[in-house]
Structure 1
């Protein structure tokens, strides 16, 4: 039996749920599909208040995606110091930052041509 292909919308939804589970903040979805030569279709960017929370957000996202979609990241970086963890799900890349690191790198401005959606969660 062939595996069901996970859509970007399904993946994004589950990732956001994983971020929200552990109170990730300031979640933004950047749609990069209209920009030439990008490495992915979407960025999801969020913040945590400490390396412990950044690590917890990363773990929660991985657990949610694994459980609900039977998928795992192709690549993960930044787990050592947990200031900026990048999880690459190929067509969706998740960036989990500590606030001061997010402010410093300011990916939202760097990718200013992207369509940016603020994600408001219920919690």
Structure 2
């Protein structure tokens, strides 16, 4: 598959993920472009937060459901058991859905400060 077609597919997935987060009222959505960071194995992080674990789980489930409806199956999913930090791995895009307090604790944006950060508004 041509590189431009791969980028277009990733852009579509990223939009689907962001819309899925917004549908369930996810907050503080950011997209980290990691393509300019050396030695990364992923192109994009999408990070959001929610006030409670029920909402964290609802956001993550909506992302997975919407992706699967488009024939996109996550490579792996982690964190559904406690739903404080759910990670959904789509290979080139990794989604992090945090409970607000856990996001403040782990500060992924600070860890990946070399990445280009884009805040997503409704």
TM-score range, shorter chain: over 0.9
Aligned-residue CA RMSD (Å): 1.3
Structure 1 match to 2:63: 61
Aligned length: 117
Question: Where does 1:73-84 land on structure 2 (aligned, <5 Å)?
Answer: 73-84=74-85
Shift of 1:39: 2.2
Query: Do residues 15 (structure 1) and 37 (structure 2) align?
Result: no
Poorly superposed stretches of 4+, deviation over 3 Å: none
- Cα offset for 1:43? 0.0
User: Which of the two has greater helix per residue?
Assistant: 2
| Residues 42-96 of structure 1: CA deviation (Å, up to 9, x unaligned) | 00000011111000000010111112x2111100100000000000000000000
Q: For 1:60 and 1:110, locate their aligned partners in 2 and report how far apart those are by CA, in whole Å.
A: 27
Q: Which ranges in structure 1 are unaligned for 5 or more consecutive residues? A: none
Match of 1:40 in 2: 42
Q: Name the CA distance, whole Å, in 1 between partners of 2:115 and 2:46.
A: 12
Partner of 2:112: 111
Distance, in Å, in 2 between the alignment partners of 1:72 and 1:97 is 21
CA contact under 8 A between 1:47 and 1:96: conserved in structure 2?
Answer: yes
Instruction: Name stretches of at least 5 consecutive residues in structure 2 with no aligned partner.
Output: none
